[in-house]
Amino acid sequence: MTRFHRAVIAVLALALTTAACGSAKEKDASTLQDRIKVSGDFGEKPILEIDPPLKLTESTSWSEEIGTGDKIGSDATAILQLTLADGRTGKTALSTFDEGQRALEVKLGEQVFPSLVQALGGKPATSRVVVASTSEDAYGEKGAPQIGIKGGDPVVMVADIISTDPTSVLAKPTGATRAAPAKAPVLEEKDGLPVGFDFAKARKTKKLTVIPLREGTGPVVEEPDRIAANYLGQVWGAKQPFAETFSNEPALFTIGLQGVIKAWDNALAGQKEGARVMIIAPPAAAYGATAQQNIPANSTLVFVVDVLGVG
């Protein structure tokens, strides 16, 4: 994580302690839209032209572009490209589009501006949303001097919603079945569900290995994307898995923002919804020399992952 990216997260986190509970009303925004011009394509850094100073009595939002993806739920996680500007000066303060930076993973209601939460709720992925926020709904009286925003300054935000939690999740993998190589671990099943691996005839590899078991027929996992997946993980040679979700509910993950082990980011990007893959992760692509609960240091890990939803 770069210093700038840490700063983006830090200044967003300030909102919890400095902002009052407010709202961003998506109505009567026409006058503000005359003073806040946003141009440029979705997924690229927006061009913001603000006629300062803005004086706001309430936070307001509108959609510059309405997407077609899954809608953001009230407690969902969203992946955003976010640009912030000072409404007093009209100057852009920071943007995750800047060179060397990456998108933000934001869970609604946690460490994020109340005005932004209100604006994002119910919006579909691939939308571009603009928020003109009062200081009370953003940084409050303390401001964010590290990025040039003084206490009491209104804030303009442009959020490109890259992905969110899938709202439609498959019950099982889809597409053609593919046989694993003879020297791969054998996936064991009970009542049609994975329960572990047999390593008796398997040959350990030192490289990250991705073995497709079902092709999948849905949308492709891109970086970054939110996915719903069932998985089972087992240390190479162990008798029992260290974790699995097949007996419960699919788990939600972000692929492409280093929130999971390197093997998952590399192996799952490019897979289709409905895919089942076996992932053999050597230590360098898993937890390395750091032991985890039920995972010794320098372990090679084997996973089976069903990609059941792509946000």
Q: So what's the pLDDT on residue 154?
A: 97
Q: Does 114 score more than 80 pLDDT?
A: yes
Domains 3-164 and 186-310 share a fold: yes
Mean pLDDT of 45-49: 97
Q: So what's the pLDDT on residue 20?
A: 41
52-108 pLDDT, tens digit per residue, is: 999 999 999 999 999 999 999 999 999 999 999 999 999 999 999 999 899 999 998
Mean pLDDT of 35-48: 97
The topology (CATH level 3) of 3-164 is Chitinase A; domain 3 (3.10.50)
pLDDT higher at 30 or 1: 30
Mean pLDDT of 281-307: 98
Domain over 186-310 is classified CATH 3.10.50.40? yes
pTM of the model: 0.89
- The domain locations on the chain are 3-164, 186-310
Mean pLDDT of 153-160: 98
3-state secondary structure string, the chain? CCHHHHHHHHHHHHHHHHCCCCCEECCCCHHHHHHEEEECCCCCCCEEEECCCCCCCCEEEEEEECCCCCECCCCCEEEEEEEEEECCCCCEEEECCCCCCCCEEEECCCCCCHHHHHHHCCCECCCEEEEEECHHHCCHHHCEHHHCECCCCCEEEEEEEEEECCCCCCCCCCCCECCCCCCCCEEEEECCEEEEEECCCCCCCCCCEEEEEEECCCCECCCCEEEEEEEEEEECCCCCCCEECCCCCCEEEEECCCCCCHHHHHHHCCCECCEEEEEEECHHHCCCCCCECCECCCCCEEEEEEEEEEC
